[in-house]
Amino acid sequence: MSIRIEKRNSQELNVIILNNQNYRIAQKLRRIKGSRWYVNKHHWSIPYSDESLRKLIELFPNKIILVDQSIEMLYKPENKDLLTKIYLTQINGLLKEMNNRLELKGYSTKTRKSYLGHITRLTIHYQSHPIELSQEKIQKYLLHLINEEKKSNSYVNQAISAIKFLYQEVFNKSKPILNLPRPKKERKLPDILSKEEVLQILNSVNNEKHKAILYLVYSAGLRVSEVVRLRISDIDSKRMLIHIRQGKGKKDRYVILSKVALDTLRLYAKKYRPEYWIFPGGKEGSHITERSVQKIFERAREKVGIQKKASVHTLRHSFATHLLESGIDIRHIQELLGHKNLKTTEIYTHVSIESNIQSPLDKLFK
Global confidence as pTM: 0.64
Please say if 316 is a catalytic residue.
yes
Catalytic residue among 55, 316, 317, 322: 316
User: pLDDT at residue 16 above 90?
Assistant: no
Q: Is the pLDDT of residue 342 over 80?
A: no
Is the same domain home to 165 and 222?
Answer: no
pLDDT given at position 1: 62
- Read off the pLDDT of residues 218-242 as tens digits, 9 standing for 90 and up: 999 999 999 999 999 999 999 999 9
Out of 167, 218, 254, 348, pick the active-site residue: 348
Annotated catalytic, 350?
no
Which residue has better confidence, 83 or 217? 217
Overall number of domains in the chain: 3
Quote the DSSP letter at residue 151: -
pLDDT of residue 354 exceeding 50, the answer is no
339 given a catalytic annotation = yes
Q: What's the pLDDT at 178? A: 62
- 229, 355: one domain: yes
Shared domain check, 113 and 72: no
Please say which residue of 23, 47, 76 terminates a domain: 76
pLDDT recorded at residue 350: 39
Q: Would 83 be classed as within a structural domain? A: no
185 part of a folded domain: no
Residue ranges making up the domain that contains 140: 93-178
Distant-in-sequence, close-in-space partners of 167: CB < 8 Å, separation ≥ 6: 130, 173, 174, 177
Give the per-residue pLDDT at 351: 36
Are residues 205 and 134 located together in one domain of the fold? no
Q: By percentage, how much of the chain surpasses pLDDT 70?
A: 92
Residues 63 and 98 in one domain: no
Residue 24: CB atoms within 10 A of its CB come to 8
Q: Are residues 210 and 349 in the same domain?
A: yes
- Percent of residues in the chain assigned helix, strand, coil, to nearest 5: 55, 10, 35
Taking 60 as the threshold, does the pLDDT of residue 328 lie above it?
yes
Answer with the one of 42, 76, 110 that is the final residue of a domain: 76
Name which of 141, 13, 30 is nearest 74 in CA terms. 13
Whether 249 and 333 share a structural domain: yes
Please check whether residue 87 lies inside any domain of the structure. Answer: no
Read off the pLDDT of each residue in 197-204 and give the average, rounded to a whole number.
Answer: 95
Residue 91 CA to residue 85 CA, distance in Å, equals: 10
Are residues 156 and 297 both part of a single domain? no
Higher pLDDT, 127 or 215: 215
Query: 137-141, 176-180, 233-237, 299-303: which range is least confident on average?
Result: 176-180
Examine residue 84 and state whether it is found in any structural domain, yes or no: no
Task: Indicate whether 112 pLDDT > 60.
Answer: yes
Mean pLDDT of the 99-125 span:
91
Co-location of 207 and 342 in the same domain: yes
pLDDT of 29 reads: 85
Residue tagged active-site, from 55, 118, 211, 223: 223
Residues 280, 353: one domain? yes
Q: Is 223 a residue of the active site?
A: yes
Residue 176 has pLDDT above 80, yes or no: no
Name the band, by pLDDT with cuts 50, 70 and 90, for residue 126.
confident
Residue 19 has pLDDT above 80, yes or no: no
Q: Are residues 162 and 221 in the same domain?
A: no
Q: Report pLDDT for 336.
A: 86
Q: Which is the catalytic residue, given 7, 173, 248, 331? A: 248
Give the pLDDT score at 349: 47
- 313 catalytic per annotation: yes
Confidence of residue 302 (pLDDT cuts 50, 70, 90): very high
Side chain identity at 53, as an amino acid letter?
L
Question: What is the mean pLDDT of the segment spanning 77-82?
Answer: 78
Q: Does residue 24 have an active-site annotation?
A: no
Choosing from 14, 49, 76, the residue where a domain stops is 76
pLDDT score at 147: 92
Give me the mean pLDDT over the 10-21 stretch.
71
Q: Which of 212, 214, 208, 195 is nearest to 313 (CA)?
A: 214
Q: Could you tell me what percent of the chain has a pLDDT over 90?
A: 42
98 shares its domain with 48: no
Confidence band, pLDDT 50/70/90 cuts, at residue 287: very high
Does residue 146 register a pLDDT over 60?
A: yes
12-21, 246-255, 301-310: which has the highest mean pLDDT?
301-310
**Looking at the domain assignment, is residue 348 inside a domain?**
yes
